[in-house]
């Protein structure tokens, strides 16, 4: 009696998801994205990150100037991207104008919080009561140096410095 040999089933090697796609349009898109990631360099990643940071800076500058979300997305973020692209150009005039635009976005983002901090500090200074230094200055017109040294918390009390030394 002759027995026929059974054919063994070959195991399929696991494939990535983009090779399992049946639709030709989706397959083209997946291969295009795959090729893009295969050819990606560290310089490209840094350019994407820098462009994203510039877009975020433009968005936040537009928000600080009082724009709503949609206006900030449609005007502030593209200004950051355009200025970043201008900075990368080899032309001197284009690079300088892009750098000036990025500097203005940075000034808007830095100046506004500092101005708010100064306004709050001024309000806190206005709430301070007169101390013996100011009273002595008003009476005599001069203050000795020891009075200035011993009353530094009265002058710099708005700073986050403890007025008493740390004791265990």
Question: Which pLDDT score, from 0 to 100, does residue 133 have?
Answer: 61
Confidence of residue 1 (pLDDT cuts 50, 70, 90): low
Burial class of residue 167 (count of CB atoms within 10 Å of its CB; 0-12, 13-18, 19+):
exposed
Top pLDDT among 101 and 4 is at 101
The residue among 168 and 116 whose pLDDT is bigger is 116
Q: Which run of H or E residues covers position 111?
A: helix 92-127
Q: Is the dihedral of CA 133, 134, 138, 143 positive or negative?
A: positive
Q: What is the pLDDT of residues 52-100, one digit of tens each?
A: 999 999 998 888 888 888 888 888 899 999 999 999 999 999 999 999 9
Look at residue 32 and tell me whether its pLDDT is greater than 50.
yes
Give the pLDDT of residue 88: 92
Q: Would you say residue 168 has pLDDT above 50?
A: no
Cα 92 to Cα 103: distance, rounded to the nearest angstrom: 16
Q: Tokens for 120, please give them.
A: 């709050």
Give the model confidence (pLDDT) of 5-27 as tens digits. Answer: 777 777 777 777 666 777 888 88
Domain boundaries, the chain: 17-129
61 φ, ψ (degrees, to nearest 5): -65, -40
User: 105 and 61 in contact (C-beta within 8 Å)?
Assistant: yes
Beta-carbon neighbour count of residue 64 at 10 Å?
Answer: 17
- From the list 117, 123, 119, 128, the residue with the least C-alpha distance to 157 is 128
pLDDT over threshold 60, residue 165: no
Confidence of residue 158 (pLDDT cuts 50, 70, 90): low
Instruction: Enumerate the H helices of the chain as residue ranges.
Output: 24-38, 42-64, 69-71, 77-88, 92-127, 132-140, 145-150, 152-155
Question: Please, what is the average pLDDT of the chain?
Answer: 78
The Cα 154–Cα 130 span in angstroms is 9
- What is the pLDDT, as a whole number, of residue 100? 93
Would you tell me how many other CB atoms lie within 10 Å of the CB of residue 83? 21
The DSSP 8-state label assigned to residue 163 in this structure reads S
pLDDT higher than threshold 80 for residue 148: no
| Calpha distance 165→140 (Å, rounded) | 31
Distance CA 52, CA 82 (A): 11
Query: Which tens digit of pLDDT belongs to each residue from 121-140?
Result: 777 766 666 566 667 666 77
């Amino acid at each position: 009696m002759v027995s026929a040999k059974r054919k063994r089933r070959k195991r399929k090697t696991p494939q990535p998801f983009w090779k399992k796609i049946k639709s030709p349009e989706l397959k083209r898109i997946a291969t295009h994205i795959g090729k893009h990631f295969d050819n990606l360099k560290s310089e490209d990643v840094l350019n994407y990150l820098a462009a994203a940071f510039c877009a975020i800076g433009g968005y936040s500058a537009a928000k600080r100037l009082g724009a709503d979300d949609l206006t900030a997305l449609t005007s502030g973020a593209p200004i950051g991207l355009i200025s970043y692209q201008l900075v990368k150009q080899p032309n001197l005039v284009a690079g300088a104008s892009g750098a000036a635009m990025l500097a203005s976005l940075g000034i808007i983002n830095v100046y506004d919080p500092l101005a708010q901090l100064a306004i709050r500090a001024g309000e806190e200074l206005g709430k301070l009561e007169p101390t013996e230094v100011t009273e002595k200055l008003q009476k005599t017109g001069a203050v000795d140096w020891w009075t200035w040294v011993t009353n530094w918390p009265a002058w710099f009390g708005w700073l986050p410095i403890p007025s008493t030394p740390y004791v265990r």
